[in-house]
Homo-oligomer: A and B are copies of this chain.
Amino acid sequence: MNAEVKNEMNIDVKNIGDFLKSHGIRPSYPRVKIYEYLIRHKNHPTVDMIYNSLADVIPSLSKTTVYNTLNMFVDKNVAIVLEMNDSEARYDADVSLHGHFRCVKCGSIYDFNLDSSDFRPRGLDNFLVSEVQVTCKGICAGCRT
């Protein structure tokens, strides 16, 4: 990786409940745990990764709840679904503008900074743009050696 690669977010884990409430989400235990998982694991996890990890701490957890919760997070704008054409959806609690690179060799997904001042979609002058995603594919530095 590289010094310019995007820094981690800095949401205080202790205040997840308040954070969710401020976005119109009742902070139930599964919801807090799922959100906490998202901000602690920056690897853009799939539903299965989240479910398998949380099934230990919430034995009653249903995969449907993970789906429901993530859909709600996206709806309430506290998470995004990556546009990756992957077989499984990948989620990200970092809703700020940044790009994603997927290595076709190792499957890792890297964040990278997008300087919004030099990123302007041209020709959408009368369009209301609510979301932008930049996705790259290729071979990461580690896999090129």
Contacts and interface: CB of A to CB of B under 8 A. Distances in A.
Interface in A124-145: 124-141, 144
A113 interface: yes
Interface stretch (A2-10, A26-34, A39-47, A62-70): A2-10
A112 to B, nearest CB: 4
A37 interface: no
Interface residues on A, range: 35 or more
Contacts of A128: 138-139, 144
30 contacts: A1-B123, A4-B123, A5-B123, A6-B123, A81-B85, A83-B84, A83-B133, A83-B135, A85-B89, A99-B121, A101-B124, A101-B127, A101-B129, A110-B127, A113-B122, A115-B120, A118-B122, A119-B119, A119-B134, A121-B136, A127-B138, A127-B139, A128-B139, A128-B144, A129-B138, A130-B137, A132-B134, A132-B135, A133-B134, A134-B134
